[in-house]
Amino acid sequence: MEASPSSAARGPRVSVARLILWGLVLAFLALMGFGLYRAQEGQIRGGLAPGFTLTTFDGRVIRSSDLKGEVVVVNFWASWCTSCGQEAQDLEAAFQQYRTSGVVFLGIDYVDTGPQARAYLQQFGISYPNGPDLGTRISQSFRIGGVPETYFLDRTGHVATVEIGPITLAEIRSILDPLVAG
Amino acid sequence: MLPIGPMSRQGREADRRGLEILWPLASLLWIGLWGGWAGLLLPQRYPAGFLAPSPVPTPSADQVNAVARQLYCPVCANVPLDVCSTQACEQWRAIIREELSQGWSAQQIKDYFVQEYGERVLASPPAQGLNLLMYLLPPLAFVLGAYFLYRAVHTWRGGPGGAGSAPSAPAEDEYARRLEDQLRRKG
Amino acid sequence: MLATLGYFFLGIAFLVCLYGVAASLYGVSARQERWILSARNAMLLACPLITLSAFSLIGLLLTNHFEVAFVWSVSSRSLPAYLKVASLWGGQDGSLVLWCWLLSAFAAGAALRRWDRDRELLPWVVLVVLVTLAFFLSLALFFDNPFARLWVSPDGQSLAAMFTPAGAVLLIPSDGQGLNPLLRDPGMIVHPPMLYLGFVGLVIPYAFGMAALITRRGDDRWIRITRRWTLVAWLFLSIGLVLGARWSYEVLGWGGYWGWDPVEIAALMPWLTATAFLHSVMIQEKRGMLKRWNLALITLTYELVIFAAFLTRSGLLSSVHAFAQSSIGPVFFAFMGGTVLVSLALLLSRWNGLPGEEPLTSLLSRETLFLVNNLLFLSIVAACFWGVVFPLISQLFTGQSVTVGPPFYQHATGPLFAALLLLMAIAPLSAWGTTALKNLGRLILGPFLLSLVLLILLLVVARISNPEALLGIWLAGLAAFVTLDEFWRGARARSRSRHEVLPLALWNLAARNRRRYGGYVIHLGVVFMAIGIVGTQFFQQQTQGTLAEGQEIELGPYTARYDSISEWMASDQRDVTQAVVSVFHGGNQVAALDPRRDDYLAAQQTVTIPGIFSTVQGDLYVILVGWEPIASSGATFMIYWNPLVNFLWSGAAVLILGTLVAAWPDRERRRSLAGASHWTDVTARS
C-alpha cells in the first residue's frame, strides 16, 4: 500500500491543520466550561453590587452611584408572579418603618408590562420607587434566578444578604437592623 | 502518471475537462442559492401581506399572532410568543394587539420588545456586530469543507492505481453488473 | 430493603467495570490472555447486575415506596402500573439507570460474540465500553442517586440520602408528586428508551474503532464487525427522533413537530454523523479508502452522543427537554473533555501511521459522491452545532443573551438538505471506480423527464409558485424516480435472465442484495419525509378565533364548527375541558374532533391536546386555546392546516422498514459464517 505521493510534502501543512484542530477543540471545551460555570454560578452573593440605572414608572432616574452611603434594598418582582404578591405588603410596611432611617427601597420590575405593573403597585399600595428592568440588563447583572428575589446592600455598596423567594416583614427587620446600625 | 481505467484516454480527458468546469459551476450555483436565501434572512422578514400604515380598529387574533410568531416568550425558554400559554404571554399578546390598533408596524413592535426585554425575544439576533459571525460561519464552513474535498480528490487522483482498483465500465445489463459485483465480493 | 439492594447491585456493577478496565490494561501490558478474558467476563457480568438494580428500582416504583426520593418525585398512587414503570425514565436519576442498563445490555452482546479472530481488539473494546459504562454508573451512584431516601434530620430539615444521616428519621410520604403530565402519553413512553438505545448503540462501533486505532490495524475488520450494530443503533435513533417529533405534534399542541430546540438538535447531530458514517464505510469496504476518515467520523459521533447527554443533563441550557439543574455538570464536563482530548490525541498520533489512500479515479465516481455526501452532512452538523453554542459565545463576548431560533437553522441547513436530495438522485446511478458522464446522463434521463412532468403538474395543477418549495418537491420527486427506476431495472434484468415473473424477481433481487435495496427503501422513506417537511414548512396555514356555539370558522378548504363544550374531573385528578368541533369540507361533514385541555391540579400544569383530522393531503389540527377564559358562550380555537404532514410519518415508517431489510442477515452470509472462515478472511478488495 503506497502512501499518497504528496503526503511528504503535506508535512508542515498537516501540523498547521493539527494546531487548528487542537485550538478548536480546546476553544470548544473552554466555552462549555464557561457556560457551565455561568449556569452553576447562581445569584451574586457578596462583593460589590453591580451598578445600575433605573428609570421609575414616574419618570425619575435613579443611579446606583447616587446611593452610596445608604442601605439599599433591591427587590425584583413581576405582576404575573403570584408569590411576589405575598411579600408586597410586607415590603411596603418595611419601607414605611425604615423611612426615618433613610433605607432606600427599590423595586425592579422584571419582564413585565406597563399597565399590569401599575395595577400591581396600586393594588398593594407600593409607594417606594419602582421601575421596569429594560432589556433585562439589571436582572442579568445580578444574575437572578427568578422572581421574587431581594438583595440587601450595605452602606459601602456591597451585597450583604440575598433572599430568594418571598420575604416576610420579620425577616426584613432582622436583616436591616444590623445594616442600619453598622 | 498512468492513465487508469479501461475507457479511452480521449473519452476520459473529455469527461475530466467537462467535470472540471462542471464542479466549480455547481458549487458556485449552490453557494449562490444559499447566499441568496440566507441573505433574505438578514433583514427581518415581515409576515406576508401585513402592512398596517393606518390604525386598525380591532386587530384580529391572526394579525396579533403573525407578529407574536416572530417573537419569543421573554421568560420561558425557546417558546414562541404565539403558542405560549402562560398569563404573562397573554399580557404580551395584549400589548401587541394594543400597538397594532395604534398603527404600529411589525418592525416597530419588535423594536419595542427588544428595548423592553432584550435581544433574546427575537427569533434571530439582529445582524450586527458579533452576530454577523453567526450568519457567516455555516456557509464558510461548507466552503472550507468543499475546498478540502476538492484538494483531497485532486491529490488522490494524481497517484498510481492500487491493487484491484477500477472495476469494469458500467455494463449495459444491470443484472450482469450486479452479478459481477457479487462475484467480486465473494472473492 | 429493596433500595439498599438496588444501590448495592449498582455499586458492584461499578466495581466490576473498574476491574474490567484494570484487567484489560494489565492483560495487554503483561501479555496475559487470561486477564483479558477475565475483563471480557467483567463486561458480560455488568449486565445482570445492572438488570437486578433496574428491577429493584422498578419494584420500588410499582410498590409505591415513596420514602425513596426518586419514586416520590416521579410516581404517585393514582398512576396506572404501566406509567409507574415508565416513570423510571421520567426523571434524571432513573433515566441514568436506564441508560446504564441499555449500555450494559449492548456490552454483554459484544462480550458474547466470537472473539477468536479479533483477540487483539478485545481488551481495547472492553476498555472503552467499560470506561463509558463506569462513568454513567458513577453519575447514578455518587451524584443523582435514584435509591436515595428521604429523611428528617434532628433539626427538622428534610433531606435525601442513601444511608442514614446522624440522628435522622426516615420520612415516608403518603403519596408521590406524580409523573409530569406531559410524559403520560404512549409516544412519550417509548421515545426515551428508543433514543437511549440509539445513543448507547453507537458506543460499540466507537469502541471497535478505537481498538483498531490503538492496535494500528489498517484493515476494515472493525467496520465489518460493527456494520449491523451501527445500522441497528441508527434505526433506534431514527425511531427515537421521529417519536419525539410525533409526540411533540400530538401532545404539545403547537401545530408543529420540530422546534429546533437545542436539545432536539443535540440529539439530531449524532444521527447526522452516523448517517454520514453509514455511507462512508461503504467506501472503505469497497475500495479500501478513507480508513482514517471513518475512524474520525465514528469518534465524532461518539463525542456528539456524550455532548447531547451533557447538554440535557448538566443544566447548561434551559429547555423544555432538559432535566433540572444538578451537580453532575462539572463531572460530565470532565468526562467529555477527557474523551475528546484522548480520542483526538490518539487519532492524530496514529494518523500518518495508517495505510495511505488509494487514488480516486473519477470525479463522478461513487466514492467521490459519497464524499460529497459526507461534506453535506457534516456541514449541516457544523451549522447546527454553531447555532447551539452561539448563544454561549454571545454571552461570553458581549454579555448579551440571544436566541438562535428556527429561521437560522432553516436557512442554514435547507439548501444542504436539498443538495442531499439531489445527491440521492445521482449517487445510485454512479459506479464504484469510475463513471462516465455519458452513462450517468443516460441512466438519469428517464427519471429526469418524469420529474419535469411532476414539476409541470406542480406549477399548473397545484399552482405552487414558491421557488423553494418547488425545488424541494422536484428534487424529492427526482430522487424517488431514480430509486424506483433502480428497482425496476434490476427486477426486469433479473426476471429476463432468470425467467421469473417480475414481482418474484423484485423480491429475490432485494433478498439477495439486502443492503443495497434496503438502502433504496430507506431513501424512499427519506423522500416521503422530505415531501412532508416541504409541505408543512412552506404551506402551513393557521388561524385563531373565538366562536360562540354553532359558529363556524374557515381555514383553507375546511370549515370548523364549534358544537359544544363540557368539563369534568377525570380519575387521576385532572380537570378536563373538552370541546366538540365538527369539520366540514365542501359542505359535507368529514370529522368530529375533540380538542381538550387537561388541567393537572396537583402538578399545576395544563396539557393542551389537539384534535386532528388526518388525510393524505394534510392535517386539520384544532387546539382549544387554554389561555383564554373559556366561558360557556364562547371558546377560542387555534386551527392549523398542515399540508402533506402525513408523508412525514409514513415516510418514517418506510425508513424503518428499509432499515430492517438492510439489517436482516443475508442467507449467504450466514452460510459462509457457519462454514469455512476463509470467506470473511478475504478482505475483498473489489
Q: Do A80 and B118 touch (CB under 8 A)?
A: no
Residue that is last in its domain, among B87, B104, B121: B121
pLDDT tens readout for residues B89-134: 888 999 999 999 998 999 999 999 998 888 889 988 888 888 899 9
Residue that is last in its domain, among B73, B98, B121: B121
- CA C632/CA C386 separation, integer angstroms: 49
Per mean pLDDT, which range of B118-132, C318-332, C439-453 is the poorest? C318-332
The rounded percent of chain C whose pLDDT value lies above 70 is: 93
Asked whether C324 and C92 are in contact (CB, 8 A), the reply is: yes
Residue C185, pLDDT above cutoff 70 = yes
Residues within 8 A of A (CB atoms), B 80-139 only? 86-88, 91-92, 94-95, 114-119
- Here the cell at position A2 is 503506497
Instruction: Look up the domain containing A6 and give its range.
Output: 1-41
Q: How confident is the model at residue C240 (pLDDT cuts 50, 70, 90)?
A: very high
The pLDDT value recorded for residue B167 is 41
The rounded percent of chain C whose pLDDT value lies above 90 is: 55
Give start and end residues of each alpha helix (H) in C75-220: 81-86, 92-112, 122-138, 186-201, 203-214
Most confident segment among A52-56, C260-264, C271-275: C271-275
Q: Which of B83, B110, B186 to mutate to test the interface with C (most CBs of C within 10 A)?
A: B83
pLDDT tens readout for residues C277-311: 999 988 888 877 788 889 999 999 999 999 999 99
The pLDDT value recorded for residue C681 is 36
Is residue A14 included in any domain, yes or no?
yes
pLDDT tens readout for residues C504-534: 888 888 888 888 999 999 999 999 999 999 9
Are B14 and B65 in the same domain?
Answer: no
Q: Do B91 and A116 touch (CB under 8 A)?
A: yes
Q: What is the DSSP string of chain B?
A: ----SSS-HHHHHHHHHHHHHHHHHHHHHHHHHHHHHHHTTSSPPPPTT----S--SS--HHHHHHHHTTBB-SSSTT-BTTT--SHHHHHHHHHHHHHHHTT--HHHHHHHHHHHH-GGGBSS--SSTTHHHHHHHHHHHHHHHHHHHHHHHHHHHHSPP-TT--PPPPPSSHHHHHHHHHHHHT-
Q: Do A80 and B162 touch (CB under 8 A)?
A: no
Predicted-complex ipTM score: 0.85
Residue C423, pLDDT above cutoff 90 = yes
Summary mean pLDDT of chain C: 88
Residue C135, pLDDT above cutoff 80 = yes
Q: How confident is the model at residue C444 (pLDDT cuts 50, 70, 90)?
A: confident
Are B138 and B110 in the same domain?
Answer: no
Is residue A10 included in any domain, yes or no?
yes
> Is A11 an interface residue toward B (CB < 8 Å)?
no
Are A23 and A62 in the same domain?
Answer: no
Are A172 and A95 in the same domain?
Answer: yes
Are A21 and A99 in the same domain?
Answer: no
Cα of C14 vs its chain's centroid, Å: 27
Higher pLDDT, C335 or C119: C335
Q: Do A39 and C329 touch (CB under 8 A)?
A: yes
Are A37 and A71 in the same domain?
Answer: no
The pLDDT value recorded for residue A73 is 92
List chains touching B (3+ CB pairs under 8 A).
Answer: A, C
Are A121 and A62 in the same domain?
Answer: yes
Is residue A24 included in any domain, yes or no?
yes
- CA C89/CA C191 separation, integer angstroms: 10
Are A122 and A150 in the same domain?
Answer: yes
The residue assigned the cell 405582576 is A79
Higher pLDDT, C335 or C605: C335
Is residue A153 included in any domain, yes or no?
yes
Are A127 and A101 in the same domain?
Answer: yes
Q: Do B178 and C490 touch (CB under 8 A)?
A: yes
Is residue A46 included in any domain, yes or no?
no
> What CATH number has the domain bearing residue B83?
1.10.8.640
**Model confidence, pTM:** 0.88
Most confident segment among B103-112, C343-352, C649-658: C649-658
How many domains is chain A built from? 2
Instruction: Look up the domain containing B98 and give its range.
Output: 61-121
How many domains is chain B built from? 2
- CA B62/CA B59 separation, integer angstroms: 8
The pLDDT value recorded for residue C116 is 85
Asked whether C74 and C160 are in contact (CB, 8 A), the reply is: no
Q: Do A7 and C352 touch (CB under 8 A)?
A: yes
Are A14 and A76 in the same domain?
Answer: no
- Here the cell at position B34 is 444559499
Are A37 and A57 in the same domain?
Answer: no
- Here the cell at position C572 is 387521576
Residue C683, pLDDT above cutoff 50 = no
> Is B25 an interface residue toward C (CB < 8 Å)?
no
